[in-house]
Chains A and B, each alone.
Chain A
Amino acid sequence: MALPSEPHNHDNCRHLLGSLSDYVDGDLEEWLCAEIEHHLEDCENCRVVVDTLKKTVYLYHVTTEPKQMPREVKERLFKRLNLDDLIDKVK
């Protein structure tokens, strides 16, 4: 395993924090992405932050409830809009 070529500078962590959300979205310019990946190679703490940040976003994506609303809410909405004759009729 290659040893880090320079002492780890924790100022870098702070400097990169604001970019981690874009990083997990794959939405960063190449040079910044490379800088983060280089930093992650020898910063265990930042690796944990990135992994748990990714998992956080993932958990919200997969647990989002379907967009159905309660039947009675839908019925009152259609009634309020004077569309009760059209509820479930148009596709």
Chain B
Amino acid sequence: MNESTIQPVQAEGFSLQALKAGDRAEFSRMVEIYSGNIYRLTLKMLNDPQDAEDVLQETFIKAFRGLKNFDGRSRLSTWLFRIATNEALMYLRRKRPTFVSIDEPVETEEGEQRPVQIVDWCCMPESELMSQEARQHLDEAVERLPHSLRVVFLLRDIEDLSTAETAEVLGLSDTAVKTRLSRARMRLREDLSVYFSEAPGFSGLKER
């Protein structure tokens, strides 16, 4: 038998046959399991609960229609993230057409931005690093990232996708994903360094 003609029958615990045949119960199970991840991603990409909800709904409507053509080569979750990400980027382009491009070239000639903040805040107590106020600042720092870096950071560090899966979702090379993740993390590090070094709990710690 030719191996390439073998179609997977199971994907992440779902019956692909049932999903492709439009089985409502199986589709409902898929929505139950993945909708939380998709909503968290769209909310953080768009920073607008209404837009995030619209994109969430569009994602599963498109998934339902597209399932019959799903070939099982990617993971179901990766495929859903791809639909959701494309949909969210389309929303952003519609709202702010000039600011959103996931394909923008990575500026190689300048190399990495040199870190400016050299302050060691690692030893601050976790109660301060994870206070309600600090958590809010963590969220705001992500909101300040350009979209092309933000989406990579969200998929890799928040949704825990691998480099290869993130590359597949965004249609980028593994190298581009790594470069963008590095830039996103370095920017967040700068942002948090400013924030924590100004926090009351920082005084008394050794500044280097």
Contact = CB atoms under 8 A, between A and B. Distances in A.
Interface of A: 13-14, 17-18, 20-22, 27, 44-45, 48-49, 51-57, 59-69, 73-74, 76-78, 80-81, 83, 86-91
A72 to B, nearest CB: 9
Contact of A52 (B37, B163, B189): B189
Given A64-B158, A67-B39, A80-B57, A52 B129 contact: no
Contact of A91 (B29, B130, B181): B29
Interface of B: 24-29, 31-32, 35-37, 39-40, 49, 53, 56-57, 60-61, 64, 111-112, 114-115, 117-122, 129-130, 134-135, 138, 157-158, 163, 178-179, 181-182, 185-186, 188-189, 192-193, 208
Nearest to A82: B24
A22 B64 contact: no
Contact of A21 (B29, B39, B120, B186): B186
A77 B36 CA distance: 11
Contact of B138 (A13, A60, A91): A60
State the main secondary structure of chain B at its contact with A.
Answer: helix
Contact of B189 (A53, A67, A90): A53
A48 B118 contact: yes
Contacts of A49: 115, 118, 189
27 contacts: A14-B111, A14-B114, A17-B115, A17-B186, A18-B111, A18-B179, A22-B182, A45-B118, A49-B118, A49-B189, A51-B120, A53-B186, A60-B158, A62-B130, A63-B138, A67-B39, A69-B40, A73-B53, A81-B28, A81-B60, A81-B61, A86-B28, A87-B28, A89-B28, A90-B25, A90-B29, A91-B32
A74 B182 contact: no
